[in-house]
C-alpha cells in the first residue's frame, strides 16, 4: 500500500518537473516569435483616420487656431485690425438648414450696458424644462457647467460664428457632436448667475461678442439678412463696455470709507455727497454712536 502511494507521488513529481522543463524548452525555442502581449499598440487605419479628423475637421478651422473644449471663450481677435465692411459672413447656406430660432420667447434683456456691467447676449424668457434648439448647423465645442453661465452649450458654425446657450437645466449634447439647426441641445433653466428661468443667448465671432439683433429678428424669429458685414461699427459697443467696466471699478473702489482721526459721520457724508442719515441706515449706526479710528463705513 505504502509502495503504491510512494509511486503515485513519484509519478506526479516527475510529470510536473518534465512538464515544467518542456514548457521552458518550448518558450526557449519560440522566443524569436513576438509575444502577443508585448506587441506595440498599432492603430487600425480607420482609427487613425478618426484621430486625424478630430484635429482638422472642426468648423472654421481656417479662422481658429484650434478646437478648445475647455475654455468657454475663444481668444478674442484684434478689433483694431478691422476696416469698414471688409468682412462679409454668409449666414445662409444652400446646403444647410439655415436658421432655426432657439426659443420663441420674449427678450427680457438685450445686448448692451446693464447697470454697472455690459450684457453680451439676449435673454429670452422661458420656463424650466422648455426645449432649446441650436440656431445653425455646427459642432458642439463646449458642453459643461460654468459658475456664471450655469449649464452652457457653445456651438461653432462653419462661417466662424459661435452661438452660446446658457443657464440650461439640462444639456442634451456632447462635445464634438455635430448638430443641425433646430436640434434640441438642452432644456431651459435657471443655473449659474441667473435670476429667474431664461435662456442667455450669445453670438460671438473669434471670441468677440456680436449683438444678436445684428443677425436675428427676435420678434419675427428669423434672420435679418443672409449675410453679416463685420466692420468696426459691429464692435463699436466695446467703448461703452469699457466705460461700464471703468464705472464699476470706480464704484468698487469707493464702496467703503475707512474712518480717519477726528472724522465724523457728517464729514464723511459731505465728502461722498450723501447724507448722515443714509450712512447711518446703511451702517446701522445711531446718532449717539462715536466712530472708531479705522472703522469701515459702507457708502
**Nearest residue to Zn ion on Cβ basis:** 200
Query: Which CB atom, from 53 or from 127, has the smaller least distance to Zn ion?
Result: 127
Grid cell of 114 as nine digits: 446693464
Catalogue the E-assigned strands of 77-179.
87-90, 107-109, 112-114, 117-119, 122-125, 131-133, 138-146, 150-156, 161-168, 170-171, 178-179
Query: Which CB atom, from 111 or from 235, has the smaller least distance to Zn ion?
Result: 111
Helices and strands per DSSP (H, E), number in the chain: 5, 19
Query: Which CB atom, from 123 or from 162, has the smaller least distance to Zn ion?
Result: 123
Assign residue 226 a region: left if phi > 0, alpha if psi is -120 to 50, beta otherwise?
alpha
**Least distance (Å) between residue 207 CB and Zn ion:** 18
**Least distance (Å) between residue 117 CB and Zn ion:** 10
**Least distance (Å) between residue 187 CB and Zn ion:** 17
Query: Which CB atom, from 119 or from 257, has the smaller least distance to Zn ion?
Result: 119
Distance CA 272, CA 263 (A): 13
Q: Using CB under 5 A, list all residues that contact Zn ion.
A: 121, 123, 200
E strand or H helix at 256, and its extent? strand 256-258
Query: Which CB atom, from 123 or from 137, has the smaller least distance to Zn ion?
Result: 123
Is-contact 101 224, C-beta < 8 A? no
With 0-12 CB in 10 A as exposed, 13-18 as middle and 19+ as buried, what is 100? middle
Q: CA-based angle 40:176:165, to the nearest 5?
A: 155
**Least distance (Å) between residue 200 CB and Zn ion:** 3
Query: Which CB atom, from 125 or from 263, has the smaller least distance to Zn ion?
Result: 125
Distance CA 142, CA 151 (A): 10
Query: Which CB atom, from 172 or from 194, has the smaller least distance to Zn ion?
Result: 194
H helices present in the chain, as ranges: 2-29, 45-56, 237-253, 265-271, 276-283
Is-contact 218 104, C-beta < 8 A? no
Distance of CA 277 to the CA centre of its chain: 45
**Least distance (Å) between residue 121 CB and Zn ion:** 5
SS3 214: helix
**Least distance (Å) between residue 271 CB and Zn ion:** 36
**Least distance (Å) between residue 282 CB and Zn ion:** 29
Amino acid at each position: 500500500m505504502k509502495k503504491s502511494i510512494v509511486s503515485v507521488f513519484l509519478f506526479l513529481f516527475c510529470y510536473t518537473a518534465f512538464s515544467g522543463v518542456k514548457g521552458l524548452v518550448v518558450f526557449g525555442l519560440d522566443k524569436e516569435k513576438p509575444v502577443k502581449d508585448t506587441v506595440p499598440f498599432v492603430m487600425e487605419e480607420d482609427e487613425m483616420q478618426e484621430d486625424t479628423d478630430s484635429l482638422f475637421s472642426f468648423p472654421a478651422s481656417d479662422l481658429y487656431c484650434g478646437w478648445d473644449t475647455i475654455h468657454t471663450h475663444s481668444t478674442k481677435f484684434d478689433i483694431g485690425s478691422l476696416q469698414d465692411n471688409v468682412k462679409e459672413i454668409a449666414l445662409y447656406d444652400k446646403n444647410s438648414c439655415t436658421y432655426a430660432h432657439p426659443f420663441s420667447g420674449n427678450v427680457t434683456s438685450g445686448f448692451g450696458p446693464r447697470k454697472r456691467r455690459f450684457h453680451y447676449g439676449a435673454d429670452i424668457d422661458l420656463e424650466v424644462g422648455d426645449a432649446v434648439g441650436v440656431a445653425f448647423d455646427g459642432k458642439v465645442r463646449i458642453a459643461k457647467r460654468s459658475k456664471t453661465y450655469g449649464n452652457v452649450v457653445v456651438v461653432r458654425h462653419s462661417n466662424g460664428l459661435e452661438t452660446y446657450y446658457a443657464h440650461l437645466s439640462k444639456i442634451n449634447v456632447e462635445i464634438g457632436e455635430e448638430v443641425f439647426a433646430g436640434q434640441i441641445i438642452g432644456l431651459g433653466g435657471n443655473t449659474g448667475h441667473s435670476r429667474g428661468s431664461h435662456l442667455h443667448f450669445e453670438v460671438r465671432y473669434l471670441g468677440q461678442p456680436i449683438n444678436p439683433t445684428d443677425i436675428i429678428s427676435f420678434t419675427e424669429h428669423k434672420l435679418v439678412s443672409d449675410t453679416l458685414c463685420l466692420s468696426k461699427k459691429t464692435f463699436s459697443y466695446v467703448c461703452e463696455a469699457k466705460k461700464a467696466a471703468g464705472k464699476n471699478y470706480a464704484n468698487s473702489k469707493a464702496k467703503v470709507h475707512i474712518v480717519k482721526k477726528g472724522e465724523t459721520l457728517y464729514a464723511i457724508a459731505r465728502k461722498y455727497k450723501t447724507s448722515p442719515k443714509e450712512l447711518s441706515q446703511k451702517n446701522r449706526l445711531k446718532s449717539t454712536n462715536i466712530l472708531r479710528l479705522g472703522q469701515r463705513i459702507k457708502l
